[in-house]
Amino acid sequence: MSIVEGAFVKVLFPTHEKPREPGLLHICYCLGVAPPVALVAYTATTFWPADLPVPPGIRIFGRQEAATLNQAPFVLHLNRLAKIALTERWLPDLYRPGQGVVCIAPPQLRDELFQASQELMRRRRELTQKLGIP
């Protein structure tokens, strides 16, 4: 596997406190890869309450769907992005077998997430947080 568009990969995602520096290890979704950089979206394994409306840019992966992606249930935040360098500083497993890639999303899911991110940028750009390198 390699770090390509549609990959779920382990990234040191920046924190609010240090938005331009590598931060905490998360599995992130690669929205785009153009060496020497990648644009990744944040994921979290937090529980999303069933009675809470899902805002634009949020995609919930339940147990069954997450399992098909080799993951536990998680929430993808297409509204929390980081531009990262394709270096070991941001991708700690870059030079290990698999490069930290957990899985590659199937084409239908990649298309869905691309459309959702484009829609978010067109209609609700102000909801998007951009971190990482300038």
Helices (H), 10-131: 63-67, 107-123
* Residue 49 confidence (pLDDT): 85
Report the predicted TM-score, pTM, of the whole model to 2 decimal places: 0.94
Does residue 50 register a pLDDT over 90?
A: no
| Distance between first and last Cα of the chain | 27
Using an 8 Å Cβ cutoff, are 26 and 123 in contact?
no
Express the helix, strand and coil content of the chain in percent, nearest 5 each.
20, 35, 45
Beta-carbon count within 10 A of 89 CB: 12
Angle at 9 between CA 99 and CA 54, to 5 degrees: 175
Q: Work out the percent of the chain whose per-residue pLDDT is above 70.
A: 99
Structure tokens at 109: 């899911």
Beta-carbon count within 10 A of 111 CB: 12
* Residue 61 confidence (pLDDT): 96
Could you tell me which residues come within 8 angstroms of residue 40 by beta carbon, excluding any fewer than 6 positions away?
A: 9, 11, 13, 28, 29, 30, 31, 81, 82, 84
Q: Does domain 7-129 have CATH number 1.10.357?
A: no
Domain ranges of the chain: 7-129
Mean pLDDT, all residues of the chain: 95
* Residue 1 confidence (pLDDT): 62
* Average pLDDT, integer, range 51-67: 94
Beta-carbon count within 10 A of 32 CB: 15
Does residue 64 register a pLDDT over 90?
A: yes
* Average pLDDT, integer, range 32-44: 96
* Residue 36 confidence (pLDDT): 96
